[in-house]
């Protein structure tokens, strides 16, 4: 049986190392669906979360912005989780993508 889009997205996100982030577009590209960044967002919103093995808090917008509707407690919780892993932020509140983006 073929994996669903959500399951394929979750499989990619499970590979993002602790202390790194990926953009929605990067996840879409890596799963072979380069124009589906928005759908990756839906997959993250519907994920079982870290307890289910999907570190969706590591997925951010390409400019390092956090998702305003982070499903597991809002952007404040997403930032807290990323900082706990050592991810750095710029003064404006965005992730420092230059230093913390996942390089595949």
| C-alpha distances in Å from residue 16, one per residue of 20, 33, 50, 91 | 7, 17, 12, 24
Q: Contact, 23 vs 60, CB < 8 A?
A: yes
**Which residue, 35, 72, 68, 32, is CA-closest to 56?**
72
56 is catalytic: yes
Per the structure block, which two tokens stand in for 18? 């602790």
The single residue of 56, 59, 60, 97 carrying the catalytic annotation is 56
Catalytic residues: 56
């Amino acid at each position: 049986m073929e994996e669903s889009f959500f399951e394929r997205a979750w499989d990619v996100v499970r590979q993002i190392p602790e202390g790194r982030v990926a953009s929605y577009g990067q996840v879409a590209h890596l799963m072979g669906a380069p124009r589906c960044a928005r759908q990756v967002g839906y997959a993250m919103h519907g994920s079982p979360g870290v307890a289910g093995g999907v570190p969706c808090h590591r997925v951010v917008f390409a400019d390092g912005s956090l998702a305003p509707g982070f499903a597991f407690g809002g952007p404040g919780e997403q930032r807290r989780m990323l900082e706990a892993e050592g991810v750095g932020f710029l003064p404006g509140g965005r992730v420092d993508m230059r230093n913390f983006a996942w390089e595949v």
